[in-house]
Structure 1
Amino acid sequence: MKRRLLALLIAATGPTLVLADEPRKSEPDRNVYIPGAEDSQGVLRVAAVYNGDRIRIHYEYETNNPSWYHQYWRYEDGEWVRYGSGGPEPDEHGLYEDRISMMLDDGAVEDFMRLGGWITAHEGMRSLSSEIDRDEVRNHPKLGEEMGRRDVRKYLPQTRETDDPEDVSWDAIRDDDELEAMRDDGEFLDLWQWRAHRSHPVGYADNGYVLHYRLSSEGDGMFTDNWDDDADQPAYMFDPDQVGAPALDWERLVAGEYGQNDPYFLSEDNSVAFDPDYDWQEGDTLPQRFLREPSGSRGAIEASGGYQDGAWRIALTRSLDAPDSRDSKALEQGNTYNVAFAVHNGNGARWHLVSLPMTLGLDNGEADIEAQYADGHLDDVDLEWTEIPVFYPGQMTYQDLHGDTHGAGGPLVRDGDLGVLDAHDPEGLADLIIEHELRQLEH
């Protein structure tokens, strides 16, 4: 594996658990956690540069509560117990990573620019109050029996067997020939996911795409589970010769004392096979994820930067050519692309902040975000930043936008006469979405 940790911008100390703004409503048993005003909105700054071969997307996101920790095994009473929740409420120990995501479309996905990320949000998805029972998903011939899934995640409505937007259903997936034809035609959303723990320490962002599910691009991923199913124990521990000990200290971890230049993550470079005969002590802690060098299209996006001066300052770099045309989009000078962004600040699943859909232009002068051309190295151009409001998306779904719960807006959306950019500013839309979720919870 390439040693990329030295490319990080180093922070002196690790994540510190900061109490969140008081939530508007919290009912975890119903998948309900509506953040307070301070936590329900933010600003993501984006800049882009490119040359004849590559494009680089820069992010800046201010937060006083960064997290590059993500789920750990803690030794307790002779057993390894996992910590780190993906929601609904913020993890009490701060053991869930920050993420920044971008969905990218070249115009092949109908209605993405009109509806943004809500084109992928549907009734029955995980973490919604309408979440489908896991046994139903496991028994589904495609999602469960073939793909081994146990929940419903992002998907495009075009992958379901109906032309009625109110009737789009998680289980009515088109046959494989139709899905493969969509991939061949580029009818999918490219998904770039920067992960503070599961990808960044080894110098990558995670490359994926959205079709009938949120899927990974071709190749090996940069993380896998640190667990041996047969032995019922972790598969790897830290190499004591490199790290000084085979495990982290729990109290130091939850106090945020492991900084970005410390071994808070476990990888091919700093690990050895787990030793069950070691004299493990109460509170010894190992990462639940094991990081490695990715391959193929999955590893096509390089990441650099880190948390510095109160903000994540991240740069993602990829070839202009699609690493695989069946799971990634090619980018060309003079063209404009549709994008939408999301920020996860120490939370998982749908508890994140999203942007409205925008345009990204490669030197055409008319897009919301203008990528600057570099006649040489990508470092040799001044950045032009765009400030993008991001806000809590609630439980608003594709079906809601087209349905009666949208009031007078439903028929207009169904007829194609109304989109999320037509009638809403981000702040006003954020308030309407929260009002909608609160009304829905009364039923």
Structure 2
Amino acid sequence: MTINPSNDSNHPQGHHARFLPGTIGALVAAGLALAAAPAMAVNWGAVDSETIVLFSPGQASFEWVMTQTDHSGAQRFREGRNCMYCHDGEQRDIGDLIVAAEGRGAHLEPKPMAAAGKPGTIDLDVQTAHDGDRLFFRLQWHEAVYDGEKMDPDYAARVTVMLDDGTVREATRAGCWGACHDDAMGMASDPSDADLTKYLFASRTGATRSGGGENYKPDAEIQDLFGKGMFLEYWQARLRHDNGPRAVEGYILEERHEREAQNVSAEAEYADGTWTVVLSRPLKAGDGQHKDLEPGKNYNIGFAVHNNYTDHRFHHVSLEYTLALDGGEASFIARQQ
């Protein structure tokens, strides 16, 4: 079966630099600057909060989502139903089955971790606001500690926000699954001779049930997609119990491009087993690698938490949500404070 890449005509840049440019000195300076982030200027006591359920996805890729023999909802998805339409309210059942590799999750997790105590889901408390200059997310969750290898021994946890302005059709339909493919690292079709990161179909000349592989479009076409805004941006805070957060930012097109934070700021607190993290960035970053944010428009957002030193696909993720500034019809409304 062949899966046609997205026909959307908006995405980011070339496919050779996995870490965006920046000197070591600039990276250190960016890290030191995090402590001065303006996030706590928001009166969070006056901001509505909502708790959403993140769940363990196992090896459920975008290709899996679209394949009827693997995913019973594939036909409805192809006909236009979004993931949230069918699965909102089922996150706990899905996560528990996948992490235990039972029932519908039996073929999605070759390394079941329920016996080691890994939970199938995490409750994430989300607040969002803006101050006319910056957009803020305050994210809070209880740390899940369980037996298992420290896949990423440097960081006890990581929390990520992914954002798009509607340009990436897959993100509108499926959130972060739009960039999660069967041949990426740790996934079911992961090739032994390549370390593919997240990517978008728009960057490939073709794809199959196993993914798009290294069938990159020419650099000039990828640059054109990038210039038209065909990319997902993400913000991430990397967390240690004994030190301040490290903020990184990046975007996804033909691969994941990442750099130390230049526009994203992070603050974090760990107390009584609970992480509280505030991520923020300017509404208009002005660097071409972020989507400008303004009232009157909806944005697609997703969340992920890597808990207990996990890495790659061993995270908990959300379904697709929407964001608007000041008012409108969206999952989250960021009001000016």
The letter for the 2-side match of 1:32 is P
Residues 64 and 189 of structure 1: CA distance in aligned 2, closer, same or farther (over 3 Å):
closer
SS in structure 2 opposite 1:179? helix
Does the aligned pair in 2 maintain the 1:101–1:192 contact within 8 Å?
Answer: yes
Tell me, yes or no, if structure 1 residue 46 matches structure 2 residue 126. yes
Tell me, yes or no, if structure 1 residue 102 matches structure 2 residue 161. yes
Separation in 1 of the partners of 2:151 and 2:131? 44
Separation in 1 of the partners of 2:33 and 2:224? 39
TM-score (norm 1): 0.49
Residues 176 and 115 of structure 1: CA distance in aligned 2, closer, same or farther (over 3 Å):
same
SS in structure 2 opposite 1:348? coil
- CA shift at 1:193, angstroms? 1.3
Does the aligned pair in 1 maintain the 2:170–2:177 contact within 8 Å?
Answer: no
The letter for the 1-side match of 2:120 is S
Tell me, yes or no, if structure 1 residue 174 matches structure 2 residue 217. yes
Does the aligned pair in 2 maintain the 1:113–1:357 contact within 8 Å?
Answer: yes
Separation in 2 of the partners of 1:102 and 1:58? 11
Query: Which residue is equivalent to 1:156?
Result: 200
- CA shift at 1:365, angstroms? 3.2
SS in structure 2 opposite 1:34? coil
- For 1:217-228, what aligned pairs fall within 5 Å after superposition? 217=259, 221=260
The letter for the 2-side match of 1:349 is H
Residues 115 and 122 of structure 1: CA distance in aligned 2, closer, same or farther (over 3 Å):
same
- For 1:177-196, what aligned pairs fall within 5 Å after superposition? 177-196=220-239
- CA shift at 1:319, angstroms? 0.7
The letter for the 2-side match of 1:171 is E
- CA shift at 1:35, angstroms? 2.9
Query: Which residue is equivalent to 1:355?
Result: 318
- CA shift at 1:95, angstroms? 5.5
Separation in 1 of the partners of 2:316 and 2:152? 21
Gaps of 5+ in 2: 1-28, 41-95, 102-107
- CA shift at 1:92, angstroms? 8.7
Q: Count how many residue pairs are aligned between Structure 1 and Structure 2.
A: 242
TM-score (norm 2): 0.63
- For 1:29-108, what aligned pairs fall within 5 Å after superposition? 32-36=110-114, 39-65=119-145, 89-91=148-150, 96-108=155-167
- CA shift at 1:203, angstroms? 5.4
Query: Which residue is equivalent to 2:287?
Result: 324
Query: Which residue is equivalent to 1:239?
Result: none
State the Cα deviation string for residues 258-307 of structure 1 (Å, max 9, x = none): xxxxxxxxxxxxxxxxxxxxxxxxxxxxxxxxxxxxxxxx4211111311
Gaps of 5+ in 1: 10-20, 67-87, 138-150, 222-297, 375-443
Does the aligned pair in 2 maintain the 1:33–1:89 contact within 8 Å?
Answer: no
SS in structure 1 opposite 2:161? strand
Residues 365 and 310 of structure 1: CA distance in aligned 2, closer, same or farther (over 3 Å):
farther
- CA shift at 1:347, angstroms? 0.3
Does the aligned pair in 1 maintain the 2:159–2:304 contact within 8 Å?
Answer: yes
Tell me, yes or no, if structure 1 residue 214 matches structure 2 residue 251. no
113, 128, 142: which one aligns with 2:172: 113
SS in structure 1 opposite 2:169? coil
317, 321, 341: which one aligns with 2:303: 341
The letter for the 2-side match of 1:363 is D
Residues 369 and 35 of structure 1: CA distance in aligned 2, closer, same or farther (over 3 Å):
farther
Does the aligned pair in 2 maintain the 1:363–1:372 contact within 8 Å?
Answer: yes
Residues 319 and 95 of structure 1: CA distance in aligned 2, closer, same or farther (over 3 Å):
closer
Residues 125 and 173 of structure 1: CA distance in aligned 2, closer, same or farther (over 3 Å):
same
Residues 167 and 174 of structure 1: CA distance in aligned 2, closer, same or farther (over 3 Å):
farther
Separation in 2 of the partners of 1:45 and 1:172? 39
Tell me, yes or no, if structure 1 residue 131 matches structure 2 residue 190. yes
- CA shift at 1:112, angstroms? 1.2
State the Cα deviation string for residues 91-131 of structure 1 (Å, max 9, x = none): 29965430111110001101212122221121221112421
Separation in 1 of the partners of 2:136 and 2:181? 31
- CA shift at 1:361, angstroms? 1.1
Separation in 2 of the partners of 1:24 and 1:332? 42
Separation in 2 of the partners of 1:159 and 1:6? 37
Tell me, yes or no, if structure 1 residue 371 matches structure 2 residue 334. yes
- CA shift at 1:5, angstroms? 5.7
Between structure 1 and structure 2, the one with the greater Rg is: 1
Does the aligned pair in 2 maintain the 1:322–1:331 contact within 8 Å?
Answer: no
Cα RMSD between the aligned structures? 3.4
Residues 197 and 208 of structure 1: CA distance in aligned 2, closer, same or farther (over 3 Å):
farther
